[in-house]
A and B are shown apart, each in its own frame.
Chain A
Amino acid sequence: MNSVGEACTDMKRKYDQCFNRWFAEKFLKGDGSGDPCTDLFKRYQQCIQKAIKEKEIPIEGLEFMGHGKEKPENSS
């Protein structure tokens, strides 16, 4: 599956792999604390935020928070 930003697809796939494993093996089994995917997610987020701005996709009411509600420096 591709990303909305062509340059982000690789990052997306790495993040998805990490998330899917954590989701099935940890989160659904009651261990939702600790997130091994934070760094991957931050890099991926920065990439798609740029792509969404460039393509002028009308995302409403959403701030790019990433994990732990940290805002990237260049969020709108």
Chain B
Amino acid sequence: MKIWTSEHVFDHPWETVTTAAMQKYPNPMNPSVVGVDVLDRHVDPSGKLHSHRLLSTEWGLPSIVKSLIGSARTKTYVQEHSVVDPVEKTMELKSTNISFTNMVSVDERLIYKPHPQDPEKTILTQEAIISVQGVSSYLEGLMASTRSNGMGNT
């Protein structure tokens, strides 16, 4: 299991960053996400907005592999739950892969809040937990570092 955490400050207020985060895809910095769908969305009794989304990703397998396994099966899927609290000004996202769960588990948690020292800025804290079944922690570390190269690109 590998845990990776990071912090990032945006020079924009929380409302702007949250609105942008809701429209994060398509994202040229992460072109592997090829589809986003909302599975459910509702405002709970305390006024928080819950969204459950399905992200479809395509990792660019070589065309010969696609032709062997059939192109419909080259997509992998991630399920995401987000909660936006407009009063406390927090947005929390949790996502997990739902494809290849018998092989790998990638859980991510992101929290967007106004920066404690500057309300015109937003701070994002991210955490990723990666577990690969039956493989050395070296490979898990490799996945975590690949992840880290993409995480600043919101």
Interface residues in chain A, defined as those with a beta carbon under 8 Å from any beta carbon in chain B: 1-5, 8, 12, 15-16, 19-20, 23-24, 27-30, 32-33, 35, 41, 44, 48, 52, 55, 57-60, 62-69
Binding site for A on B (CB under 8 A): 15, 18-19, 22-23, 25-26, 34-43, 47, 49, 52, 54, 56, 72, 77, 79, 84, 86-87, 98-99, 101
Q: Is the CB of B36 within 8 A of A1?
A: yes
For A2, give the chain B residue with the smallest CB separation.
B35
Q: Is the CB of B40 within 8 A of A1?
A: no
Cβ–Cβ contact A8 & B37, under 8 A: yes
Q: Are A67 and B49 CB-contacts (below 8 A) given A4-B35, A28-B18, A57-B77?
A: no
Given A1-B35, A12-B37, A24-B15: A67 and B22 interface contact (C-beta under 8 Å): no
